């Protein structure tokens, strides 16, 4: 079954304690990204990766790191979490980066979400 | 600056009637648009899309209309069913950075 998995699904932590949220996809997708969803703000992109060892900042990258050592995995790292990073996080993947003029209606496949509370 | 706007945070529609969700965008570089549906405790799932070369795309009960001159698109669901109650995100692609999402509209289908 084609899917994007995230772990953990729920996490409560304290300020400053490093944490990693894992993301894995089994569709051999090149493009992966992380979003956070906050009330009234919708989905905002944190980081994205166009392929192995290629990552770039999205709209709200501050306080986050990512790595892409393997095609299937794209972990999100919070080196020193703060309360303003309390949010619902989604990992997503697609076959390739959605870029202008390709005329390809590619969709992103989303993971089930990770709800993070930073105290 | 919000490039994709969904100005209605919520919408309540009676079962069996038509639901119309609206989305406006500002970036003329966007050349295709998608709607995602999200249930609580689940990730968004793809619903329907439309390329800028079309003005309408239909899939069963779901139809998306695109008005390029007005930079406006809408999702029509007819007839609305209880299982359609969810948050709907409009997204646009073709700009510099992948997909840009709106804030979402919470659709509530009333019996």
Under DSSP, is residue A113 helix (H, G, I), strand (E, B) or coil?
A: coil
Residue from B39, B98, B100 whose CB has the most chain A CBs within 10 Å, to mutate? B98
Output the six-digit token pair for A36. 């956070």
Tens-place pLDDT, residues A26-81: 999 988 999 999 988 888 999 999 889 999 998 899 999 999 999 999 999 999 99
What was the pLDDT predicted at B17?
A: 97
- B20 interfacial to chain A (CB closer than 8 Å): no
What was the pLDDT predicted at B97?
A: 58
CA-to-CA separations, B35 to A6, A115, A118, B79, in angstroms, rounded: 23, 23, 31, 18
What was the pLDDT predicted at A83?
A: 97
> Does A40 sit within 8 Å of B99, measured CB to CB?
no
- B42 interfacial to chain A (CB closer than 8 Å): yes
DSSP E strand stretches across chain A: 4-7, 10-13, 19-25, 31-38, 42-51, 54-57, 65-66, 76-78, 87-94, 109-110, 114-118
Across the A/B interface, how many CB contacts are shorter than 8 Å? 69
Tens-place pLDDT, residues B28-76: 888 889 999 999 888 999 899 898 888 999 999 999 999 999 999 999 9
CA-to-CA separations, A61 to A9, A18, B11, in angstroms, rounded: 21, 16, 32
The chain B residue lying nearest A9, using CA atoms, is B41
pLDDT band of B82, cuts 50, 70, 90: very high
Q: What are phi and psi of B40, to 5 degrees?
A: -55, 140
């Amino acid at each position: 079954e084609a899917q994007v998995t995230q772990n953990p699904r729920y996490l409560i932590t304290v300020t400053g304690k490093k944490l990693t949220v894992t993301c894995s996809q089994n569709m051999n997708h090149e493009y992966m990204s992380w979003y956070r969803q906050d009330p009234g703000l919708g989905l905002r992109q944190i980081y994205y990766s166009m392929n192995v060892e290629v990552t770039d900042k999205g709209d709200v990258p501050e306080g986050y790191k990512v790595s892409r050592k393997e095609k299937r995995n794209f972990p999100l790292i919070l080196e020193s979490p703060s309360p303003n990073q309390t949010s619902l996080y989604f990992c997503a993947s697609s076959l390739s980066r959605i870029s202008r003029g390709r005329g390809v209606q590619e969709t992103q496949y989303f993971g089930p979400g990770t709800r993070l509370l930073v105290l | 600056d919000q490039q994709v706007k969904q100005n209605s945070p919520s919408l309540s529609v009676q079962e069996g009637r038509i639901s119309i969700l609206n989305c406006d965008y500002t970036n003329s570089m966007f050349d295709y648009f998608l709607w995602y549906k999200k249930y609580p405790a689940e990730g968004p799932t793809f619903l329907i899309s439309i390329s800028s070369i079309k003005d309408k795309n239909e899939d069963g009960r779901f139809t998306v209309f695109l008005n390029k001159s007005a930079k406006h698109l809408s999702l029509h669901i007819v007839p609305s069913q209880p299982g359609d109650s969810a948050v709907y995100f409009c997204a646009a692609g073709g700009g510099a950075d992948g997909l840009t999402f709106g804030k979402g509209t919470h659709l509530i289908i009333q019996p």
